[in-house]
Amino acid sequence: MNKHSKKSHIKIGDTIQIIAGNQKGFIGTINAIMRKKSLVFVEGVLPRIKYTKNPQGGEQQKVELQIPIHISNVMLWDKETNKASRVGYKTDGTTKTRYFKKSGNAVS
């Protein structure tokens, strides 16, 4: 394993719940992961609005930026039980599968 890459309990496309910050309680899916900085981009999170000026004195432009969230502030969402849960790993021979610790269901 490379010394710069970090392990993560989530993957792109997982459904998660935000457990800290001003978006606490929001449920969405993961678009992108920045492993070196331990950040995720969640689809549907309210964007941050930034106004940019034109250097020649033109009009302002309104730009919506998608804000990243730290991996420690998100938790996987179990759709069957409608609860957030931690993740465990089971090995069946050569395959490693993720499962929810609260319900025991496999992560799809």
Task: Tell me 71's DSSP state.
Answer: G
DSSP, res 83: E
The two three-digit tokens of residue 34, written as one number: 């920045």
Q: Could you tell me which of 74, 81, 62, 68 has the C-alpha nearest to residue 19? A: 74
End-to-end CA separation in angstroms for the chain = 25
* Adjacent-strand bridge partners of 61: 52
pLDDT at 6: 75
Express each pLDDT in 40-70 by its tens digit: 999 988 888 999 888 787 788 899 998 999 9
DSSP, collapsed to helix, strand or coil, labels residue 32 as: strand
Give the pLDDT of residue 2.
Answer: 63
Q: What is the CA radius of gyration of the chain?
A: 18
Q: Spell out the CATH class of 15-100.
A: mainly beta
| For the chain, domain boundaries | 15-100
User: Position 38: which residue type?
Assistant: S
